[in-house]
Amino acid sequence: FRGVPVADQCSCSRDKIRGILEGFSAEEIKDSTEDGGIHVACEFCSTQYDFDPAEFAAE
């Protein structure tokens, strides 16, 4: 087999995390809220993403 290059690079982004949270139900958003916000940390690169739960309120 031929070798392939390996890159130590994370593909997380605020938009990707937002897309996941937009799929949550209102109850899941409520359950994910802690200290007035939703806080998500990437386990690969340790980037912290903070969101206001109101961003995901049902329209």
Backbone angles phi, psi at 50, to 5 degrees: -115, 135
pLDDT at 6: 87
Domain count along the chain: 1
Instruction: pLDDT band for 58, please (50, 70, 90 cuts).
Output: low
Separation CA 3–CA 40 (nearest Å): 34
Residue 48 lies in a domain: yes
Task: Count each helix (H run) and each strand (E run) in the chain, helices first.
Answer: 2, 2
Residue 24 lies in a domain: yes
Token pair, residue 2, equals: 């031929």
Q: Could you report the per-residue pLDDT of 5-46, keeping only the tens digit for each?
A: 988 889 999 999 999 999 999 999 999 999 999 999 999 999
Residue 1 lies in a domain: no
Domain that holds residue 47: 14-56
Instruction: pLDDT band for 57, please (50, 70, 90 cuts).
Output: confident
Residue 58 Cα distances to 11, 22, 25, 30, 38, angstroms = 28, 10, 9, 12, 16
Q: What is the CATH number of the domain that holds 40?
A: 3.90.1280.10
